Amino acid sequence: MLKGKTAVVTGASRGIGRAIAAKLASEGANIVINYVNRREEADQLTQDIENLGVKVLAVQADVSIFNQAQNLITRAKEEFGSLDILVNNAGITRDGLLMRMSEEDYDRVMDVNLKGVFNCTRQAVPLMVKQKSGRIINITSVVGLVGNAGQTNYAASKAGIIGFTKSLAKEIGSRNITVNAIAPGFIETDMTSDLPEKVKELSKESIALKRFGKPENVADAVYFLASGMGEYITGQVISVDGGMAF
């Protein structure tokens, strides 16, 4: 149970982030939902979470912008009095072969996926150090572990998250703060829905369980790390990929 804890989930209006926010709320945590554009989805989730009997706040912020990320974390502490769990989930893709990739597509993916993790975590860590406890869970990808043609920008950002996670785990472990990453494989969300059928079929073939994952599969792993069960786990990358990359 996470009763009385405060969790911030970035990119919680849809997909994996939404499932994470719902799971942590169902386990009793008060939740700060972050979104960037989809206000309606965030409002709907706010309603759904309120119905679970916990406190919830939706904050619009582009995590790639330092001041907005700062405001997101500050609001959590102001509204709910603590910041116990930070889930850095917000992420985007701008796929393309390197030879055709624009500088803008490279930069945007790095800014949201990797700098966004820095921006939110930079603001959260001093609060957690003061509290003498905290859980930071970063959503990376199997692509950050094994690479993927057409995703040099995305893979670089996700591999960056892994280095960030391991380094920070060493920095703040003595403060009773754990820092881990979860590497999803192919999860059915808006991010993967537009992929060509051929790519989907090939991906499915490469998965030991021969099926795609659901956002809830990732949310369960986040809950495990955020709960008492995860108290002695830090600096790890846990794959939730049905056996896609091992």
Q: Which is nearer to ligand NAP, 11 or 134 (CB)?
A: 11
Given the rule CB under 6 A, which residues bind ligand NAP?
A: 10-17, 34-38, 41, 62-64, 89-92, 112, 139, 141, 184, 186-187, 189-192
For 212, left (φ over 0), alpha (ψ -120 to 50), or beta?
beta
Q: Which is nearer to ligand NAP, 52 or 191 (CB)?
A: 191
Assign 3-class secondary structure to the chain: CCCCCEEEECCCCCHHHHHHHHHHHHCCCEEEEEECCCHHHHHHHHHHHHCCCCCEEEEECCCCCHHHHHHHHHHHHHHHCCCCEEEECCCCCCCCCHHHCCHHHHHHHHHHHHHHHHHHHHHHHHHHHHHCCEEEEEECCCHHHHCCCCCHHHHHHHHHHHHHHHHHHHHHHHHCEEEEEEEECCECCHHHHCCCHHHHHHHHHCCCCCCCECHHHHHHHHHHHHCHHHCCCCCCEEEECCCCCC
CB of 66 to ligand NAP, least distance (A): 12
Q: Which is nearer to ligand NAP, 110 or 129 (CB)?
A: 110
| Contact between residue 46 and residue 18 where contact means Cβ atoms under 8 Å apart | no
CB of 60 to ligand NAP, least distance (A): 8
CB of 156 to ligand NAP, least distance (A): 12
The angle, 0 to 180 degrees and rounded to 10, between the axes of the packed helices 116-131 and 152-172 is 10
Q: Which is nearer to ligand NAP, 16 or 54 (CB)?
A: 16
**Which of the residues are catalytic?**
154
Q: Sheet holding 30-35: strands in order across?
A: 56-60, 30-35, 6-9, 85-88, 134-139, 177-184, 237-240
CB of 74 to ligand NAP, least distance (A): 16
Q: Which is nearer to ligand NAP, 25 or 131 (CB)?
A: 25
Q: Which is nearer to ligand NAP, 15 or 160 (CB)?
A: 15
